Each structure stands twice: as C-alpha cells, then as structure tokens.
Amino acid sequence: MIRPFWNLVAGRDGVSHRRAFLKQLMTGAAAGTLTLSWRDMMIARASELRKTGKKMILLWMDGGPSQFETFNPKIGSQYQGPATSIPTSLPGVHIAEYMPETAKMMHKIALIRSMKSSERDHFRAIKLVRSGYPINPSIQYPTWGSVVARERFDPTYDLPAFVRIGKPRITTRDINSGVLGPRYESFKIDQAGTLPEDVLTTVPEQRLRRRLDLSARLDEQFAMSGGAQRVVEKQEIYEQTQRFVLSPKLEAFRLDNEPESIRDAYGRNEFGQACLLARRLVETGVSFIEVFSTGNVSDQGWDTHKKGWDENPKLANGVDQGYAMLLRDLEQRGMLEDTLVVWMGEFGRTPKFKPDGGREHYSDGWITCLSGGGVKMGQVIGETDKEGVHVTDRPVEVQDLFQTFCHVLGMNPHDEYVTDQDQPLALVKGGEVIQELF
C-alpha cells in the first residue's frame, strides 16, 4: 500500500519537526513510495507547517513602552508618577489604570516583568529584540517574521507568510529580511482595511492573464539564449504575485464585511482595526503578523522622553481595547491555543522622570506579555524591586524569548540558514526556553 507523503507523524506539541519530517520523507523515498526533489520536499514541509503549525502575532510598541504606566506600576514609589493601578482578572495582580479592558483579560496573559538586555539605544535594541541577534555591521540579521516565513514558505499558497500592518515611526531604524533576501520580506500594509495601490489589478482579469502568457513566451526565448536561472527566479515571483492579486483570499484584507459590532469592539483606531485584520489573516492561514503601535505624536511613539504624563495614558489607552479584544476574539473562535500573541517593545523607561513625566531609555525590568500558543497564561514571571530600579527575581534575556518562540512554533533553534556570503547562522544563538511558560 502506498502511504501519502503528507500523512506526517507529529510530535507531542502537534507539529512535525524538521528532522522527523525529513526522516519520514526519506524513508518513503527509500521504500519507493514517492519521488520528490529536495525543493518538493521543502514545499511539502512548509505547506504542512503552515496548515498545522502554530501562528504568531507580534504587537510591537515602537519606541519602548513605560512599564510604570502599563504592566508594572509601583504605587507608593517615588518614581511612579500620577498613574494609579487597577485590579485585574488575575487575583493579586494590578496594572496601570490606563488599560482597563486588558485588565479584564489578564488571566489570558503570561506577564514577564523582568526582561533584561544590554542595549539602550533604539537602533541597536530594535535589531536585537526583533532578530534575536545583537547588531553586527557585517551581517544583516533578518527580523523574526522573515525567519518564520522561511520556515513556512509555501509557493503554492496564495497569501504571504509574513504580513506587517502599520509603519515604523522612524524607517532608518527598521529591520527587514536581511540576509534571507526579498523572498521572505514582509508584505506591508500601512493601514488596516486598505491594500497598497499596486496590489489591485488595473485591467480585467482576462487581459491580465493574456499579458502574463505573453511575458512567459518571451521568458522562454530569453531562457534559451542563456538566461534560464534568471527566468526561473522571475517566474517564481510572477506566479506568486499572480496568485495573490487574483486570489479570493484577498477578501481577508477587507474589513468592511465584518459586523459593525466587531469593528467597534476592537476600537475604531488604527491599532484596534489592525488587530482585527491580524485575526482575519491568522484565520486565513498567514503564519506571522506584525502590528505596529506608534501613537499619533510626530515620530515619538512610545519613546516618551517628554510629556509622559500626557502621552503615556493616550498610548496605553490606544492599544488597550484592540489588544484585549484580539485575545477575547481568538479565544471565542477556538484559535488562541494555536496562535502565540506577543506584546512588547525594544526596552522600557527609566524609573527617574522629568517634571512633565518624560522618561529615558532603560533595559532592566522591561515588559513582555505572551498569550496563547500553548503557553501557561494567568501568571507573572519575574519582578523588580519596590522602586522599579533592579530586577530582583527571574531575569529573562532576549535570547530566552526567541528560544521560547521556537518551542511554541515547532522550530528547531539549532537549524541554520546560509547568508549570501555562505555563512551558516542558527535560528537562535544562546538562551534557554522559559520553562515557567509550559
């Protein structure tokens, strides 16, 4: 009896890991039950992971959110400022008053209050926290979404594996697919509900297909004259683009067919609607979605060096409704268990503040929140002292986070990709899985 190659055996976490997957394929090939090229095997593996593997949504607080005005207020401390705290659905745990909807969902959040890193400069910290690697002038490390996209890359799937919603507040500090190249770059949407203009076709579908057929014939002539490799690369991109722009799955990017009550529940601001779009994309099969929160004050975002007493309440309140509703909606639809939702920025803010509430950069005791994906929610990991100056319990490093991401997503952190300079790089270097989460 011939066993289909897609009948894969999953591990305890429900994911077919790379070594097990390849072992099964090679066993089948040796037995004469299938004949696949290496590319076919990788496509098959990516397709299986995309369908059965867990997804990830990163809610990125661009600029570095203040822990005092969000998830670790220090009431009574000389450094707290005017923000008070409110109780949450997790007994004994309080957060800042500016996030009342999130407070109701704390039982669905694993809150880390003891993040530590060595980077307090935005550029360097963003590179570290978004890639898992410290900055290196000779290597453009890819953002984590691109690494996941590489693992989940399936050229037969209509939509991108990695979608980014919103724009970084300062583009020169952004991080992209780096050494992984344009194939694994994010598909960027400036604002939820609006696709980029170049996505929508400007001619009827029938005419577009005729143009593509003509292009393919011209490519054949070029290939015969010595340009075969370039033609292969171009055709792959064109085929993916064609499937994308003509796919019925593009409906996932539309929000106007969502009930008004759902749109209202997410909040009628850019972040709230982006969270709604993130849920729709996960539902459609997109593996990694990144949502930016940048506020609305020039390019300050969460980088509140000034006017902290005015801006932090607005920033926290601006993400509160969308974040809480995303968790609630995913849970109600039975999707939270298979979707890791992470809330974080590149670092936190100093305990000491200016007269207007501005705080500088601080990388001791910053915040990360994790939900879903099989993590143990409804707990607090780590703590800082009563003034919020030093981590006093369970410090967590950036590499520990990335080891944990791999654990949740069913990726082997020791797997390697090769740079354009033929240098092998592990998905994650160093760190340990945060065991309290499992």
Q: What are phi and psi of 281, to 5 degrees?
A: -70, -40
DSSP structural state of residue 226: I
Indicate the pLDDT class of residue 6, thresholds 50, 70 and 90: very low
What CATH number does the domain located at 54-188+254-437 have? 3.40.720.10
Contact, 382 vs 411, CB < 8 A? no
Pairing of strands 110-116, 364-371: antiparallel
Query: Does the pLDDT at position 61 exceed 70?
Result: yes
Q: Which residue has the tokens 């369908």?
A: 51
Listed in order, the ranges of the chain carrying CATH 3.40.720.10 are: 54-188+254-437
Mean pLDDT of 374-382: 98
The tens digit of pLDDT for each residue in 12-35 reads 333 444 444 444 445 444 444 445
Which amino acid, residue 412? N
Q: Which of 128, 155, 157, 134 is nearest to 51 (CA)?
A: 157
Indicate the pLDDT class of residue 196, thresholds 50, 70 and 90: confident
Helices (H) and strands (E) in the chain, counts: 11, 17
What is the distance between the alpha carbons of residues 164 and 228, in angstroms, rounded to a whole number?
33
Q: What is the mean pLDDT of the chain?
A: 86
Contact, 404 vs 132, CB < 8 A? no
Contact, 186 vs 162, CB < 8 A? yes
How far, in Å, are 58, 109, 111, 192 from residue 396 at the CA level? 18, 17, 12, 33
- pLDDT score recorded for residue 40: 56
The first and second tokens of residue 77, run together, are: 């401390």
Mean pLDDT of 229-242: 64
CB atoms within 10 A of CB 3: 12
Q: Which residues neighbour 117 within 8 Å (Cβ) at sequence distance 6 or greater?
A: 125, 128, 129, 347, 363, 366, 397, 398
Contact, 395 vs 129, CB < 8 A? no
What is the distance between the alpha carbons of residues 177 and 144, in angstroms, rounded to a whole number?
8
The first and second tokens of residue 319, run together, are: 């993400």
- pLDDT score recorded for residue 110: 98
Most confident listed range (3-7, 119-123, 239-243) = 119-123
